[in-house]
Amino acid sequence: DILSRLYRYHLSQGGSALPQDLNSVQNIMTLKEFSGDTLRDIITSVLEKYQDVNPIQYNDVISRMFNTRLENPKGLAKNVIKMMQAFRNKPEDGKLKLGSMLKVVDIDIINFLWGKLIGMSDLRDVEKELSELEFQIQPGKGADSITRQLLGENVAKMQGEFSAKYRYNEGKNKISLHFEVSKKKAHGVAGFNMGVCVAPDRQLWNNPDFMNLIIWNEEGIALGGMHIFIIEDAGKKYVTLPGINPSTNLMTKVNADDIFNNLMTYALKLNTALGYDGVLIPTSSSIHSNRSEVQRVISSRRYESKTLTTTHPFSYSPEYSFNMAYVVTEVATVAKETHQYAMESGDDTVVKNPTLDQSQNGGIDLTPDRLNMDVNADGRIKFNVDPAMLQKLQDMPGFSPVILRVSPIASVRNFLGLNDGIQPVR
């Protein structure tokens, strides 16, 4: 009954209807994203309205949904000491064990507790620490909990099983996407197809270190994006990504690995252009993405985690902050895992990663949809030359080309792929 009511609310707010059958990969992906992401967004919206109408009752209900203190801390203390001694030299395994023992899933809390408890051996000290431990209910946890209860305990296994089994094949059609970093007020509404909207958060928008990266298609329609937040920590500056949320529409058409790779390639180039010290993704899944497929991709990358020296507040309505982050690897490492696939139906699409596979022979790839160039109406190519970059290149060492193969061609236009209707990627 609750699910049907939420679905009617979804439709009344202009949401798309679910497919009537599951006879295609796209229909299955649409249902998968609805159960994994969209439903949570709907519940979040309903809870926000509940909080506005009756904040006292709302806070009472949410507080009763979660335990803010550990159950039986004295009974846990002895086992915690034994476990931490056994896993002292295997902290990653030990943290998983600690989270299981304390029934804590938030990786930031687990890392904090490990750092506090690892140096303790006295039973009374550990008992005191666990007894005084009090958890704050994180924003969005209510929606997460209700979503899990509605969908059942096997939903995570179902999501993971499907992700492991579906396969994208090369499609004949391509999508050309354009990334834009923006602080324009009109672009704030792009957050609505990111599963989160920061438009009302005036304090966040007024922060010069916050920007929105929007994914545009060729028709100028926003397909989600990601938040970019510049932080300074221990004397270094980082590009952090607290919110990687392509639209569900894009996620049903393109492999999540491809979307993620392109976004990370852009973020790494942005970091280089700014001269900063790296790209970080908050480790907490409730912050780094609302998309289950993006969460899966981030988890699969096995990025090294980094503990920041301070806790960095990100948003204020609702409040989010982070002090643990994954360190994004270099473009070449990311490119090795790129999957250049598309879905199996006739109108499917693909995002091409512009990076080159370093394991292949060198050369110049003249495929039009890989060339970063603009074409004028008369067919001539318009080159945008950065004078500063040109000055840097003047001091570059020379190179000797190696001819791998010589092939006769009948038509230069055909060789360059200019007659197949493919548009250059911007």
> According to the per-residue pLDDT averaged within each range, which of 35-49, 186-200, 373-387, 402-416 is highest?
35-49
Q: Write the pLDDT tens digit of every residue in 160-211.
A: 676 666 665 656 667 888 899 988 877 777 777 776 666 677 888 888 999 8
Q: How confident is the model at residue 383 (pLDDT cuts 50, 70, 90)?
A: low
In the numeric block, which tokens belong to residue 118? 């690892």
Q: Which range among 135-139, 152-156, 165-169 shows the weakest confidence by mean pLDDT?
A: 165-169
Q: Write the pLDDT tens digit of every residue in 90-103.
A: 887 888 888 888 87
Whether the CB-CB separation of 114 and 102 falls below 8 Å is answered with no
Which among 257, 305, 258 has a CA at the least distance from the CA of 280? 305
pLDDT of residue 256: 85
> CA–CA separation, 126 vs 115, rounded Å?
12
For residues 131-157, give the mean pLDDT: 75
Whether the CB-CB separation of 165 and 158 falls below 8 Å is answered with no
Between 361 and 395, name the one with better pLDDT. 395
Which among 16, 372, 355 has a CA at the least distance from the CA of 177? 372
Per the listing, tokens 């609310």 go with 9
> CA–CA separation, 122 vs 318, rounded Å?
39
